[in-house]
Each structure stands twice: as C-alpha cells, then as structure tokens.
Structure 1
Amino acid sequence: SRRMMELIAQKQREREEREKRETIERERQRRKQGQELSLLRQRLQEDEMRKLAEQRRRDKMEEKLAKQRVREKIERDKAERAKKFGAAAQGSSEPPAAPAVPSSPSQEPPSKREYDQCRIQVRLLDGSSLTQTFRAREQLAAVRLYVELHRGGAPEPFRLLTPFPRRVFTEDDMEKPLQELGTEAGRPWERSWGRSWECSRGRSRERSW
C-alpha cells in the first residue's frame, strides 16, 4: 500500500542520515587522534633533543674538568721535580752536618723508701694463720706474745722461724727489733713491708715459747 511505501522510504532516509552522521563523527575522531598523535610525537622528539643537548653539555663539562685535572697534575709534578732538584743541588754544595748527639739524661739514684711498720703472717701448728701489723722498732718478743694470746687451743711449746731463708729464732733474738731481724735475714727493711713466719713444735735452750 501507499502508506507502507512511505514508511519504508522514511526509515531508509533516517538510516542514511544516521550512517552519514556516524561517518562524519568517525572522520572527526580519526583526525583528532591523528592530531594528538602528531603532538605526542613532536613532544617526544623535543624531549629527546633536550636530553641529547644536556648529555652533550655534561660530556663537554667532564672533558673540560678532566683536562684541567691533567694540567694541574702536570704542574704539581713539575713543582715536585724542581723542588727535589733544588734540594739535591743545595745538599751537594753544603758539607754534611754532623749528627746531633743526644744528651744522656742525668740518672739520679732511686731514693730509698723507709717503712716504719711491718705486716707479719704466722702459720700456726694446726695450719691456720695469724696476721698482724707491728712497728719496725718492736721486739720479736711482741710477735711471740701475740701468737701466745691468739693461737687458741691448749698451750704447747713452739718456736718461731722463717721458711725462706730458713732461720729458727732463739731466745737471744727475742729482744731484737723486727727491723734488725729483717736486715740480718738478707732482706732490707726498706724494700719489704711484709714477712711470712711459721710456728714449729719445740723448746728453746732456755724456755718454752
């Protein structure tokens, strides 16, 4: 029918118009993308050119610094050679200086150190020990009395002796000062502040102690 033909023709025109608009839009998008790609390519080229220019500047600067370092090294070498040559020439023209003899420091004899006390350790018969400090001028009898008062246990005759050098003290030694006994034993009092003695069982010629 006529109405049907008109509808078909209208639909066909609408489709053609739509396709035409789509074609125009695609072309516009293609051109836009082409322009964007062209701009991007141009920016990349510009960035690459800037990088190349910067690299060339760095290379030139490094080359300049390297040449400067070489020149400075050459100048230092020249100065050192001139200095060595001048020192050698001066040394050959002057007589050798006599070596200085160091003066020996005056050696003063060490001062003796005097002690006025003596610390005595006495090992008892049971293996224990007593330790006491006495004045240098006290008699040996003071040591014997101290042992008698502090040894403990039942009274038992004993003798005082030094283990090294071995010496057994007698009744005649009881009135001698400790300082004198230390000197007689070959151990100067001023060089030793302590003594180690022992007790042994036995009697002296005159009395028990």
Structure 2
Amino acid sequence: MRWFEGSIPAAIAAAKQRRCVFVVVITGSDDQSSQLMSSWETDSVWEAAQNCCVAIRVDAESEACVQFSQIYPVVCIPSSFFIGENGIPLEVIAGSVTEDELKRRISKVSQMHTQQMSAERANETEEAASKESLSVPMEEDGASGHMTPAEDASQPDEALDSKVERITKKLEERREQKKKAEEENELRKEVERRKMGKEMLDFKKKQEEEKTKRLLEERNREKAEERAARERVKQQIALDRADRAARYAQSQAEVEAARVAALQARASEQESRRDAAQRERSAFARIQFRLPDGSSFTNQFPSETRLLEARRFAAQEVGGRYGQFSLATMFPRREFTDEDLQRSLLELELTPSASIVLLPQSSSAVVRSSASGGVWTVLGSLLYPLLSVWRYISSFLFSSAPAAPPPAPQNTHGPGAAAEPKRDAVRKRILEKRPEDFKKDGKIYGYGLKKTTRGDNNTWNGNSTQQM
C-alpha cells in the first residue's frame, strides 16, 4: 500500500484535487492494529484503492490523531475512516477486518463516492442552465417601451409570460428534486450513521465480552493455580509429616536398638564376668571341716581334687582322735560313699565352697575319751555333734554366729586334765599349717583370696561355726 507522506490537510487537498475519497487509518501497537495493517498492505487492496482513495496512516498516540479526533470521534483503535468530498464519512471500519472484507468495503465506498459525484454534477448542470435561461438579453420595444428577448422580439407578450412561467416551474421542480435528493441523501447518511453506530456498539460489546472472557479465564486460571499451589502445599506438608514420622520412628528404632544392644552387651558382659568368676571360683574349692567337738578347720583344694584326698587331709589333721569316720553334708543332708570318694570336688558340687562334717563310725574314740575324762567327757562327746548341727542351723535362721559351746566339764585332778594339752597341741598344729592368705582380724580368722566376691569372704574363729 502506498501511503500519503504529508500531513492531514495536505492529504485532504490532494483528495479534493483528484476528486477521490479521503481515507484515514488510525492504528496502535496491539494485535488488531497489526492484523488491519497486514490487510491494507496486500496487493489486491492496493489495486482496489489506488484509483479512488488517498490514504494516510496516523498513529493513535500522535498529535495528528488528537486533532483528527476533535472533528471525527475515534471510538476504538484501530479504525478506518472513508470521508467523502463534502467532508461526511461514507464508511467507518472499527477494528480489524480481513482482506476480502476490506476490498468489499472499498468497492462500496467507491460506488457511493461515484453516485455522490454524479448527483453533484447534475445539480451543477441544472443550476448553470437555470442561470443561462434567466440571463437571456432583453431588447426594448420602441413602440411600446417594454424589454423583450432578442430571439423572441417578434413573439407577443403572452408567449414570454408562458415561457417564464415554464422556466420557473422547471426550476421549482428541480429544487424539489434537489431537496428530495438531499433528504434521501440525509436519510441514507442517517442510515449509514446508525449502521456505523451499531457496528461500533457491536464492536465495543464484542471487545467488552472478549475482555470479560479474558478476565474470567485469567481468574479461573488463577484459581486453578491457587488450588494447585494449595494441593502442592498440602502434599508437601503430608510428605514433611511422613518424613518426620519416619525419622522419629527411625530414631526411636535406633534408640531402642541401641538400648537393646547396650542391654545385650551389658548382659553379655555380666554373663562373661559371671562365667569368669564361676570359672575362677570353680578352679578351687574351699572346704570347711567340722569336727564332732564343735571345732572346725578350713583348707583350699583344686576343684579337680578327689574327695578321698580331702578326707586324707582331714584324717591327717585330726589324727586318730575319732578313729574311723565318714564325711557328710548337712544341707542338703548327704553322706558320701566310697564311690563318692573317687569323684572330684567339682563333680560333687562342692565348689567354690562347702562345709563337710566328720561323722565317727565307731565308739572306740568315745571309749577312750571316757576312760580318760569321766562321765562328763563321754556326754560332751555324744552331744557335741548335735550342738554343732544346732549352731549351723542357728547361723542361717538368726544370721548371727551362735555362742561357743560350753566346755565339757573336766576333772582337773583326774585323767581329763591330760586331754587339754592334747587339744592345744592339735590347735597349734592346725595354725602352723594354715595357708599364706589366712588372715586374722582380732579373734576372727579368715581367708583373704585375691579375687573373691563379697559373698565368698567367709570368716572363721576358733570355736564358732563358719559365717557363710
């Protein structure tokens, strides 16, 4: 499209000079303006408009558009104004149109402009003829003194009046026709104006509907995005809660596993300590031998030592005072047989400590004692085992060591006086053979083992029973 390069007044003057339609195209920077300009720039539109239009392009933000809108209201952007020779818009296109529609509008405007020009030429011709008819030269009639047309000088006055009347009538008819044509033109312009107003209203309505639709779509899109964002937040919160719960469960599981592992390790350590202590305690057996007279002595043996060797040690310690004797435990009540003498202390469950009572098997020792000590010595020998048992039971029932048994009545002037030095000799011999770890605390004697528990720290005194 070849646009006019000058100003709007210069374009109007060029349109009047060429007797063409003055076209003003107002565009902006939106998409519809671009579509309208693409339709105007096609070759087919240029061919349709080049012989009947003088077109100028005006920017909607320019001063020329502001001046133009003061004369012709610009309702929407873009717009195309087709203005006739008399300054009245023949067509106004609001918004963007296609190439075919633009060609049809240009053809319609061209026909309207042609009809308008033809009507104006006819009016001008009639007015010129009327002026010529009224300006016919009149000659003076010398006889009568009246002015008559030169060509009709010979005609009578009646013919001149009828001719003037006929011309006047024709002028009146032409005025009526012209008035009627003007009324029709005004009516057509009113129709076109109403049509243009309706198109503008429809265009504005369409723009409002599109705007409302866009706003509604944007609002729906925003709501959808907001819902999606809320869903994402809810999902994230659920994931965070699940993650925290999983971490908490994992931490609890780890704490529980650590606690169980610690308990297991502690139990294993305690078990190993017990096993070590048991093995250490089981490696030796501390045997307390209780004599019928209430006295006792203690010795430590390896756990694999046979009971026979322990019996030999006891027989060596007591000598021949009691003659033949057997070994027994009181709790539980058990008397060892000849078969038990061949078994080890560990097999007989006498480790780590045990108390064994020496039971005489004949009365020879009693007879010998009676011969040397009298009746009271015999009774004391018979009752001492029972008193020893009673002391042993009392030590468990009352948790305290029973009092030492009263000494058997002896005759200081008879043979019983000779038995006392023998007991002192036996006690002295026992003390001389005590082990290195045997210790004394006042009148209390005990074994100080290197690795013994509190329950295994047993004490012993000369006359009382062992404190378990």
TM-score (norm 1): 0.43
Q: Which has the higher contact order (CA 8 A, sep 6+)?
A: 1
TM-score (norm 2): 0.20
